[in-house]
Structure 1
Amino acid sequence: MIPRALLPVALAVALAACEREPRTIVAAPADPPRPLGSAPAQRADAPPPGARAPAAGAPAAPAPGRREPQGLPSSSELLAQVEAMKGQLASAPKSLEILLALGNLYYQESRYADAIGWYDQAVAVAEPAWKDYLALPPSARAKEPSPAVKEACTRSQARGFEPLVRAAQGRARRKDVAGAAYCYRAALEPSVGARIQRANAKLLAGDAAGAIADHEAVLARIPDQPDAMYFLGLALAETAEGNIGQLERARALWKRVGEVQPNGPYTDGLMMAMAEVERRIAAAQSARLGR
């Protein structure tokens, strides 16, 4: 239970997480890193192929200073409340969703080290459930669950990580492995966003290797996850320093994003990013030939 003194902050953060963004598989952080000359990235709204995860999400923080609808406090106001109770908050039990929302608040204020700390906790909380999910047979993870399972394990404000994990564990004990897999995916969905947001925070904080490793880890578990592919391409392109292989990998990732989401939210950004990476590849090849 969250201590009574922390309840207003917890409720404000949780409400902001539910209200600020549509329910997406992953919402990109505000002001994500991007190649020179490209437009700001938008968010993906489709589950990865074959995953069939229900919609839910890792909310991104709003633009600085923007007043939120329904009388919600701004991110800076929420962050001030969190900072005022930081000592108490550090030792209070927190859900995966609260940890993610706290990370997003700090990310929005460009406090990347603090954001990474909260994302670290969110990722760690989810790891035991990831292990259980990945231990299920691949055929069960790919199987379509029944409508009853979908209804029972659809994410909602009241049905978050912990209840969904318990539902998954119960179905696994009853040998409903397809249902267990679906419930695990619903439970784990915010942890995907936490890892992608952490990767982008690391890149902005100067840890390019850590950012790339986080995106690669997401793709190892969810091949073709469009947000991870897109942002991994950005990290590779921005740190290539003339490395043709790295630039070509970025190009291949962006091409795949376009195939997975031919009319998706990254379409405009991909066109500019692809043009820029082609220019960089050509420049690197010319420099190599010049030597």
Structure 2
Amino acid sequence: MSLPLALAAAALLAAEPSPLPPGHPVIPPGTQASPTAAMPAGHPAPGTASATPAGALPPGHPTLGASGMAPAAPTGPLPVGHPAVAEPGRAPPSADELLKQLDSTQGLREREKTFEIASSLGRLYYLNGRHTDAITYLQQAEGRAQPVRDVFLAARKKLGKAPVPTAEAANCGFTPGMALEAMATVAQERVTKGDTAGAAACARAALTPVLDVEVMRGNSLYLTGNAAGALAVYTRVLELEPGQEEALFARSSVLFETQGEDLSALKKAAEGFDTLVNTRPNSPRAPMAKQLSQTARDTVKAGGRQKYLETRAADRRIRLSQAVAAMPARGNPAEADGPRALTPEMVEAVQNTEHTPEMDQGLAKLVEEGEEHLAHGRYQEALANYTRVVPFQPQNGRAKAGMAWALVGLGRPMATRIWGVAVQADAAAVEALGDTLKSKGDAKGAKALWEKLAQDAPEYSGKAGLQAKLAQ
């Protein structure tokens, strides 16, 4: 595939529809359809006077022969440099086929290109997930647009707070499909004439397709792991158009995701999300931008991402423990103040809760407070503490012992079952709870606990030590 043909094919990738209707079968090479078969019923046959109405052919068109058909195409060689003619009836190349042809084209990357060609190549690679290649061509397109960008920025600076007029108001004379270079020339002519407002208007209109190119390059940089480069490109877009929706959302999102401990960056992210919500309230991105703005502000308030996550985890634990404590027990209403029954959803939530050093410290403090309540006969308060610990630390013998003794002290019907579980699982922890109660001044409570343990655990391996304590 020749280089000029490769460039042209890329530029026209999505611009030239097939002449055949959707789903029409491909016409095999060399097949000639019958003119009469293709005509609607009642259509005059070719070659008749009514078949070729007067004035139907454009001026200078060769006359049709007696048969009503155009002269046969010449069979001689094509002019030097003429692109190869596609095989008749062959469908346009697919994106994969075109990419293969472009990849095999020597010198394609290095060859100087117009903005339109470079941006078409970049867009082709971008839309097909070839982001490293896309970056190369999109950057080349941006380079072609740099002069008109400079014109716009300089003119806007001179205007100060005065608004930039539209291209129509400035009578730039741009037409659809006009090349960037031609539009840049118009803007530069306005500069030469001293028409600052006109220069800014024409340059800004010329830069409209450039914004899309820069956003695509920013996205490609981010997707290839270059978040800092992506942020720089999004900032370039917003320098030209502060309200550009995609760049606003993308820059704020990358700042929020990658700068979680930088409070100033998080504030900037929140401001970007707010700008999008305020300027484009009906945008599909607006609800998400509003939510992310609040999260960014909460993260700033917490002091950074890590502290925010720790606070969120602590809040979840508190809410879950409150939900556990508020649930009525299943079965006997008399056990309503005992350990609460967990739904499968609550069990899953507990199991999925991340254990952090801060969480473990908080649970240990609850156990200590529970033991203080037990030593002073505050069994209900002690039970409330233990029911917040056991769901997260079901193997904590100290917590299970405390919960069991709190239920015994309250005289609850389920006390016997929970006490039996605690003794069977870790009788030593139950004995140690007696030591704790005694150390906190509850010698009577400690002796009662040891007596019950000795009675209910005759096979306890530490029975000798337990008897010694009871003899004191």
TM-score range, shorter chain: 0.5 to 0.7
| Aligned residue in 1 for 2:111 | 92
State the number of aligned residues: 235
Matched, 1:264 2:290: no
Aligned position for 1:142: 163
Contact persistence 1:123–1:191 (CA under 8 A) = yes
User: 1:15 pairs with 12, 19, 26, which one?
Assistant: 12
Amino acid in the other structure paired with 2:113: K
Structure 1 residue identity aligned to 2:173:
A
1:153 — aligned with what? Answer: 174
Q: Is the 8 A contact 1:251 1:277 kept in 2?
A: yes
Which whole-Å CA distance do the structure 2 matches of 1:255 and 1:140 have between them? Answer: 23
Correspondence 1:5 to 2:2: yes
Q: CA 1:231–1:17 in structure 2 vs 1: closer, same or farther (change >3 Å)?
A: farther
Deviates more, 1:133-142 or 1:279-288: 279-288
> Displacement, 1:163?
0.7
The answer to whether the Cα contact below 8 Å between 1:244 and 1:284 also exists between their aligned partners in 2 is no
Name the residue aligned to 1:253: 272
Matched residue of 1:264: which SS? coil
Aligned to 1:75: 95
Moved more, 248-257 or 265-274: 265-274
Render the CA deviation track for 1:137-179: whole Å, top value 9, x for unaligned: 225972425747456124x22x121110111122222333322
After superposition, give the CA deviation of every residue in 1:98-152 in whole Å (9 maximum; x if it has no partner).
Answer: 2122112222333222211112212222222222222222259724257474561
Trace 1:231-246 onto structure 2 (pairs within 5 A): 231-241=250-260, 243-246=262-265
Q: For 1:101 and 1:146, how far apart are their aligned partners in 2?
A: 24
Cα separation, 2, equivalents of 1:103 and 1:145: 28
SS in 2 for 1:142: coil
* 2:189 alignment partner AA: G
CA distance in 2 between partners of 1:270 and 1:17 (Å): 32
User: Unpaired segments of 5 or more residues in structure 1?
Assistant: 21-70
Identity of aligned residues (%): 30
- For the residue of structure 2 that corresponds to 1:93, the secondary structure is coil
Change (3 A) 1:16 1:114: same
When normalised by structure 1's length, the TM-score is 0.67
Shift in CA distance, 142/286, structure 1 to aligned 2, threshold 3 Å: closer
Question: Is the 1:230–1:257 contact (alpha carbons within 8 Å) kept by the matching residues of 2?
Answer: yes
Structure 2 Cα separation of the partners of residues 280 and 18 of structure 1: 46
Task: Measure the CA separation in 2 of the matches of 1:219 and 1:279.
Answer: 25
Query: Distance between the aligned counterparts of 1:180 and 1:123, measured in 2?
Result: 19
**1:195-215, Cα deviation, whole Å (9 max, x unpaired):** 222111111111111111221
Q: 1:114 aligns with which of 133, 155, 168?
A: 133
Q: Which amino acid aligns with 1:126?
A: A
Contact 1:242 1:284 (8 Å CA) reproduced: yes
Taking the aligned partners of 1:196 and 1:88, their CA distance within structure 2 comes to 26
- Name the structure 1 match of 2:239: 220
> 1:280 Cα deviation (Å)?
6.3
Q: CA–CA distance in 1 between the matches of 2:306 and 2:93?
A: 48
Partner of 1:176: 195
Contact preservation (8 Å) 1:17, 1:101: no
Distance 1:163 1:245, change over 3 A: same
Q: Which residue is 1:163 aligned to?
A: 182
- Considering Cα pairs closer than 8 Å and 6+ residues apart, tell me whether 1 or 2 has the greater RCO: 1
RMSD: 3.3
Structure 1 partner of 2:226: 207
Q: Which amino acid aligns with 1:9?
A: A
